[in-house]
Structure 1
């Protein structure tokens, strides 16, 4: 850009040279006043190159040089055009409380320099008015350019903020997805491994006395392990799209019968009761219900104690919500049960809260433990 400023300065100076003598009647080529005006115009054009670095200082220096012209009998010369460029630059860089007074100072200089010479056939009132209007127009143009630049800068800043917000949201989404995967893996591993361990213990105990029951238990353990592997592949498929089974359907309320049967086969005296008219449950709600029951039954196996005789899973459909309740009559010490700070209960509470539902968990008045969740059907996903 400095090259453009240099060309403008050189052009104005060269255009100014042949017109200096006409700026005042007494000037003649080669006189001292003429030489002084040439030097003043040269300096004025030279400092124009610095307008981008110090626009206000350049304008002040130009006005000082323009006032010095009066000492040599030239109210105004062609080189003074470059002052308008300086006014424009100031208007593009400074707010109007700074740039407008600068423009008015230039107008004041025009009045001081020209008005006393109006009767000398130098310039008339109409031409003076044009110069004032042009000065104010140049200031207005520069001000509009500054406003547009600020507007464009604001748009760029908002676009950058939006991009940063998108990146932040993406990181949050990744963190939430990892937390979801962690909960899914916890549910799958804790439930499946507990079933496999129980069935393996039962098979080991009956392998000599009741080989058929031992075989059935081992087959159940095998099927449970395969199901767990399939579920794990599906969850890991979120990270690797080409993983086999990554697009398999998620479990839901339709798989609760199989889940309860699997737990019953593992030795847990559990029953499933469904009340109300089964409505279409959104996939997200169905998965949450399945994982709640799965985690709750896992906790019953781990913490209910040897006196457990009954565990109930109740699913009640209502008009706009579904209630899930898992209870047992275990007699184990309350301190051995998972509390509200347990990892499993925290995961269940987060699942329910994600759908705008309510979750409660705690010991029953008589005996055992109870987990209840209310999930709204409207807006589910």
Structure 2
């Protein structure tokens, strides 16, 4: 993670913990924009009303509806006390911010009386004194745009929050499935170890006791018995080696694992989540076995998962597979999307897993920001020729 991204992440975290500071900071540029025209040649009363109209914005997110009515009422009171000024954006800009806040944070039913409170007086004033259709259309359009903007931002934030929650839920489910798989594997190992070790050791102990008992009276019989003990031990050792070999092999004795033929389905699932994924294949894979296909699959899966988590559902990604004689190259790049934080190159379980899988096939993996372009790049090269796999 670059220092700039780290600083931006910290700043966003601080602002998220102190939203009132953000709203107080909003008042300053708002007053700078509306103040020059509103306060030109104004007296103390106008300055006081100007400050009172802007002050409730500081609490806009905590109490959006009361803040709107406070701003709206104070704006009308200011107009009655110091007169209405047609220059500039005061108090329309402050009222618009309050309306947006209601549309963004409050229940939608709260918008109905607010729209009526703004539109009805404008309708009466501009029709009775004119009519001024252009002015009425401007007010109506500005009000509609403000309301729609707040609703749109609210809907989008809710959608992104749902995606984040879904990602967290999938991670929890994945961890639970991993724990279940570990428990099942431990149970299977326990059964195998019992069958191999306990049985053969019991036989060996019994034979050794018999050999010890007959050693004095019948040395030849004791020697034959010890040969049987040795044979039993060698058989047990061979079975133990086979069990350990099965444990080292990917997917041995378990549900069939995904491979190269599952990449299309993986890409489609990521596309369904919103990421625009393109998949290109150069060459034809060799007869490398299920373990090789699983390694490539897991690398692509982890890279696309990081794209979805860190770049957001609107990112674009390109997966390119290049098959050569005895080797495969896997490259996944994304355009960054809405990425505000990059996955750590070291220390993350996903990238560590990719490194372990490529190292098992005599290869290596690199992951980091793209050079000269926004986004992230993962590149892995695996060798499947004789002696490459560890």
Change (3 A) 1:86 1:132: same
Return the match for 2:91 from 80, 93, 97: 80
The one-character-per-residue Cα deviations of 1:82-109 (angstroms, maximum 9, x if unpaired) are 1011111111112322234433333234
Relative to the length of structure 1, the TM-score reads: 0.52
Change (3 A) 1:95 1:2: closer
Check if 1:153 corresponds to 2:164: no
The answer as to whether partners of 2:101 and 2:150 remain within 8 angstroms in 1 is yes
Distance 1:101 1:225 in 2: 88
The structure number with the bigger radius of gyration is 1
Match of 1:66 in 2: 75
1:235, CA displacement in angstroms?
A: 5.3
The one-character-per-residue Cα deviations of 1:31-81 (angstroms, maximum 9, x if unpaired) are xxx654443232112322332332222111011112324534845653122
Matches within 5 A, 1:1-381: 1-2=22-23, 4-17=25-38, 36-72=45-81, 74=83, 78-81=89-92, 82-111=94-123, 114-115=125-126, 118-119=129-130, 124-229=132-237, 231-232=239-240
Distance 2:45 2:128 in 1: 20
Match of 1:377 in 2: none
The answer as to whether partners of 2:100 and 2:146 remain within 8 angstroms in 1 is yes
Match of 1:300 in 2: none
Relative to the length of structure 2, the TM-score reads: 0.51
Distance 2:50 2:133 in 1: 25
Change (3 A) 1:116 1:126: closer
1:138, CA displacement in angstroms?
A: 0.7
Please tell me the root mean square deviation across aligned C-alpha atoms, in Å: 3.3
The answer as to whether partners of 1:55 and 1:90 remain within 8 angstroms in 2 is yes
Distance 1:76 1:135 in 2: 20
| 3-state SS of 2:62 partner | coil
Distance 1:103 1:76 in 2: 22
Distance 1:215 1:100 in 2: 100
Question: Gaps (5+ residues) in structure 2?
Answer: 1-21, 254-390
| 3-state SS of 2:61 partner | coil
Distance 1:231 1:218 in 2: 20
The answer as to whether partners of 1:69 and 1:76 remain within 8 angstroms in 2 is no
| 3-state SS of 2:129 partner | helix
Distance 1:65 1:165 in 2: 53
The answer as to whether partners of 1:199 and 1:221 remain within 8 angstroms in 2 is yes
Moved more, 217-226 or 152-161: 217-226
| 3-state SS of 1:79 partner | coil
Number of corresponding residues: 228
Change (3 A) 1:237 1:126: same
The answer as to whether partners of 2:23 and 2:58 remain within 8 angstroms in 1 is yes
| 3-state SS of 1:105 partner | helix
1:232, CA displacement in angstroms?
A: 4.5
Question: Gaps (5+ residues) in structure 1?
Answer: 20-28, 251-381
The one-character-per-residue Cα deviations of 1:249-278 (angstroms, maximum 9, x if unpaired) are 99xxxxxxxxxxxxxxxxxxxxxxxxxxxx
Change (3 A) 1:75 1:128: farther
Distance 1:153 1:201 in 2: 69
Distance 2:212 2:169 in 1: 63
Distance 2:166 2:112 in 1: 29
The one-character-per-residue Cα deviations of 1:326-372 (angstroms, maximum 9, x if unpaired) are xxxxxxxxxxxxxxxxxxxxxxxxxxxxxxxxxxxxxxxxxxxxxxx
The answer as to whether partners of 1:66 and 1:76 remain within 8 angstroms in 2 is no
Change (3 A) 1:3 1:223: farther
